[in-house]
Amino acid sequence: MGPLGATCEELLETWFGLRTLLVSSCTHALEMAALLLDLQPGDEVLLPAFTFVSTANAFVLRGVRPVFVDVDGSGNLDVAAAAALRSRRTRAVCAVHYAGNSCDLDALAAALPGLPLVEDAAQAIGATFRGRPLGTRGVAGAISFHETKNVGCGEGGALGLPRPDLVERAEFIREKGTDRRKFSQGLVDKYTWVDIGSSYVLSELNAAYLEPQLRALERIQARRAQVFARYRQALAVPSARAGARIIEPPEHNGAGNAHLFALVFRSPEQRTRYIAQMGASGILTPFHYVALHRSPMGRRFHDGRPLPISDQLTDCLVRLPLFFNIADTQVDEVIDRTLEFLRAL
């Protein structure tokens, strides 16, 4: 944590309005959140099945059983399904703000009163719910600066801490369980081991790459929103006519961040054909997650409940190119080739 790392934290704290620790990845931010919750073996955490493995691994590493919950059509946690799965062993819920669109945090708080919330806001830098930045409503909020995100530094993340009482311990955990930060501030004459922890500090080299992007966040978001809007305007009606659909921001969503633009086809075969046809034109259109309950590791924890929307998104969702420096001519090409495929359907 050199001067550029400190500057990144200041910029993030200005946005979030709370103490935000710059860390080495969103994966590590989630691991720190699990440590802050003092979760124990045998505890359970509710989390969406349609998410990246880090969402579950952070808790599994503490001996916690992940309880996979289905998602709604926007890819966000199905609140009613989560409430139905709460048990006497449930210690927390982890909401993933899929595609930079918010989970319904008001409904979640009402459905699961008293249950600590961890926000996996990996995809949600710059997005809000009820006027508040995503990642600021729970016990902790994790942000990603992986190269695939709106703002990135190759690998990096941040942990927002809405509860001031957890800040000092989080600083210990980030610095390998030592009070090194107090030492650097001149508050102690030497630093020592005071808690559990690991090496979660972002390197100054990564911070140097991240800092100018954080300063340009508004411009980055505006360009992404422009590309998203062009895709939506051109493809919404033709997609519906072909029996496909767009992942739309839910009605309760605040300001999204245009993290991704995704189509959901009627069948896996249609998606496979689309990816192949776009690839033949030199256009990369990848799918996204394999739902965790269908993975070899996830099957160790899942009880066999059907999770139909998570299955559908696993099999039928595909993402269109969306990044800050995509050219308008490239956007036109993606739209034209996609329209050709949809018309053929």
pLDDT of residue 252: 87
Task: Work out the number of other CB atoms within 10 angstroms of the CB of residue 271.
Answer: 20
Q: Which CATH number fits domain 3-216: 3.40.640.10, 3.30.450.20, 3.20.20.210, 3.40.50.450?
A: 3.40.640.10
pLDDT of residue 208: 97
The CATH class given to the 218-344 domain equals: alpha beta
Share of residues in the chain with pLDDT > 90 (%): 92
Mean pLDDT for 112-121 is 98
CB 151, CB 142: distance < 8 Å:
no
- The string of DSSP letters for 202-262 reads PPHHHHHHHHHHHHTHHHHHHHHHHHHHHHHHHHHHHHHHTT-EE-PPPTT--S-----EE
Mean pLDDT for 274-282 is 98
Burial category of 312 from C-beta neighbours within 10 Å (exposed 0-12, middle 13-18, buried 19 and up): buried
pLDDT of residue 255: 83
pLDDT in tens, 202-211: 999 999 999 9
109 Rama sector, left if φ>0, alpha if ψ -120 to 50, beta otherwise: alpha
pLDDT of residue 254: 81
Share of residues in the chain with pLDDT > 70 (%): 100
Residue 251 has pLDDT above 90, yes or no: no
Residue 189 has pLDDT above 80, yes or no: no
CB 277, CB 258: distance < 8 Å:
no
> Which of 268, 263, 271 has its CA nearest to residue 245?
263
CB 213, CB 207: distance < 8 Å:
no
pLDDT tier for residue 180 given thresholds of 50, 70 and 90: confident
Give the residues across from 178 on adjacent strands: 193
pLDDT of residue 1: 74
pLDDT in tens, 300-327: 999 999 999 999 999 999 999 999 999 9
pLDDT tier for residue 43 given thresholds of 50, 70 and 90: very high
pLDDT of residue 187: 81
pLDDT of residue 240: 97
pLDDT in tens, 1-31: 789 999 999 999 999 999 999 999 999 999 9
Mean pLDDT for 189-199 is 90
Looking at this protein, which amino acid is placed at residue 7?
Answer: T
Residue 260 has pLDDT above 80, yes or no: yes
Q: What are phi and psi of 324, to 5 degrees?
A: -60, -45
pLDDT of residue 190: 80
Q: What are phi and psi of 45, to 5 degrees?
A: -130, 130
Q: Write down the mean pLDDT value for the chain.
A: 96
Helix/strand/coil percent split, the chain, to 5: 45, 15, 40
pLDDT of residue 183: 74
pLDDT in tens, 58-108: 999 999 999 999 999 999 999 999 999 999 999 999 999 999 999 999 999
Q: List the alpha helices (DSSP H) in the chain.
A: 3-16, 26-36, 53-60, 79-84, 105-111, 167-174, 180-184, 204-215, 217-241, 268-280, 308-316, 328-344
pLDDT of residue 184: 80
pLDDT of residue 185: 76
pLDDT tier for residue 127 given thresholds of 50, 70 and 90: very high
Sketch the domain layout of the chain as residue ranges: 3-216, 218-344
